[in-house]
Structure 1
Amino acid sequence: MALRARPPRLAALTALAALAAGPVAVLADVAPADARGRPWPGHPDRLLVGHVVRPGDTATGLATRYHAWTRELVALNHLDRAGTLRVGERVRIPVVVSALPKAKAPAAQAAPVAPPAADPATQGWRHWRMSRDQVREAVRREAQRRGVPVALAQAVAWQESGWHQPVTSAAGALGVMQVLPATGLWMSLYAGRPLDLRETHDNIRAGVTLLRVLLDETRSTRRAVAAYYQGLGAVRRHGIAPGSRPYVANVLAIRDRLAAERG
């Protein structure tokens, strides 16, 4: 995701650094007026927290810091596909309450939040309680099985969902790899069986298999990543679209960081 005042590569590294540091004090550096969350009607386990965009903020970085989903943040604030933020504007961040360290939950929580098992948003999902480390490892195994560079597959998964499964985009993309149902049917042909995108391992298989197909079809990592975001046909017809460039830059920056960590 991009902020005009900051290059996407630095934004991605900031987001990944927050992940590597482990749990953070989510509301520690937010002004008291911004730290008062309120329930998001119709969205169990979410509190809306206000934030005034500062230099260096990115949609991905804010989502990581507040334990929110990037796609929910983008949709809620009607941002463009690149998640562009403007310094000084106020955005609402849908904090996932169950993901917060208990001591850090907003004090003004207005109503008790149902336990995750009772959350309608998670109904139908399978193996959705896997930790980020478990998801990361599952992506690694599938990438090795499919001959996809591990760091690249993990970077796409992080960019798409932050290594979490029960996520649905406004466009209907599902899970860790944010795969559209139609794409899931396509990837099922390669898998030799129907893939359930609401099951974590199948979702990862669909997304990593798609990456394998795109790498084969484009013969270019950058174009394959762009095709993951904007579609293979669009890349073939028009090349990498301007709106896809921040996404591609973020994924490649995260890939490089992950590869460096692996040594």
Structure 2
Amino acid sequence: MPTKAPVRFHGRMPLRKKKAANAALLGAAATALTVKAALAAPTDQAQPRPDAAAVTDPSVVADDVRVRPDHPYSRPLVRKILVEAAARHQVDPKLVLALSYWESGWDQLRVSDTGAVGLMQVQPASATEAGPALLGRQVNLDDPYDNADVGVAILRQDLQAFNSPENALAAYYQGPTSLKADGMYPDTQQYVEGILDLANRMNP
């Protein structure tokens, strides 16, 4: 790709009202309460969503088989998808796992109140730009492989632009323009601290 000014995407804070910001703080607190359980689970055993009727056994899923977005799948398979995306983009897998868990609880079916989708909670408008710009193709956010790929690519760009995990996570959440203009908002700081703490305890 020719060298050019980085395309800026993602970041939900510029559009977020006070009510949504307060909801984010509550959501972050709720996420923190479930972190201990996620870390306690063996990395090679599935922890299915409570509403899942069944899980996909990753031991019998070929590498080239795509997970249907409307089908329950196991956490080991989600971890595999995220770790492979981290390796492709040369990003710390523990950071990727922690970010995805904090954002979505590793739930590909999750859609936020701002419209962010899937494992990495990527905005559709962001994906429309980031897919071609960073991956050279369009992506389908309903596909967990694509969702992880574009989300980690955006994180990688933020890491390159801001030169620290703290600021990269803040840019991923708050948006780089807002971060540069206003610094970290209180909920952004909590978001960053929570993810970094979780990453330090992750076992990829």
Distance 1:180 1:236 in 2: 20
**Structure 1 segments of 4+ aligned residues over 6 angstroms from their partners:** none
Distance 2:50 2:35 in 1: 21
Say which SS state the counterpart of residue 201 (structure 2) adopts.
Answer: helix
How many correspondences in the alignment?
Answer: 160
For each residue in 1:171-196, what CA deviation from the matched residue of structure 2 results, as whole angstroms up to 9, or x when unmatched? 00000100001110122121111100
Deviation at 1:230, TM superposition (A): 0.7
Structure having the higher strand fraction is 1
Whether contact under 8 Å (1:128, 1:164) holds in the other structure is no
Match of 2:95 in 1: 152
Say which SS state the counterpart of residue 98 (structure 1) adopts.
Answer: coil
1:169 aligns with 2:78: no
Deviation at 1:130, TM superposition (A): 2.2
1:138 aligns with 2:81: yes
Deviation at 1:242, TM superposition (A): 1.6
What TM-score, normalized by structure 1, do the two folds share? Answer: 0.55
Larger radius of gyration: 1
Q: Tell me: CA distance 1:194–1:97, structure 2 relative to 1, closer, same or farther (3 Å).
A: same
For each residue in 1:150-173, what CA deviation from the matched residue of structure 2 results, as whole angstroms up to 9, or x when unmatched? 100111000011111011111000
Distance 1:128 1:209 in 2: 25
Distance 1:20 1:244 in 2: 23
Match of 1:239 in 2: 183
Match of 1:256 in 2: 200
What TM-score, normalized by structure 2, do the two folds share? Answer: 0.70
Q: Tell me: CA distance 1:219–1:128, structure 2 relative to 1, closer, same or farther (3 Å).
A: farther
Amino acid aligned to 1:255: A
Distance 2:183 2:159 in 1: 15
Which runs of 5 or more structure 2 residues have no equivalent in the other structure?
Answer: 1-23, 43-47, 55-67
Distance 1:97 1:204 in 2: 22
Q: Cα RMSD between the aligned structures?
A: 2.6
Amino acid aligned to 2:51: S
Match of 2:149 in 1: 205
Amino acid aligned to 1:144: A
Q: Tell me: CA distance 1:197–1:128, structure 2 relative to 1, closer, same or farther (3 Å).
A: farther
Deviation at 1:141, TM superposition (A): 0.6
Whether contact under 8 Å (1:143, 1:149) holds in the other structure is yes
Whether contact under 8 Å (2:82, 2:97) holds in the other structure is yes
For each residue in 1:135-155, what CA deviation from the matched residue of structure 2 results, as whole angstroms up to 9, or x when unmatched? 111100110110111100111
Structure having the higher helix fraction is 2
Which runs of 5 or more structure 1 residues have no equivalent in the other structure?
Answer: 24-66, 68-95, 102-124
1:18 aligns with 2:46: no
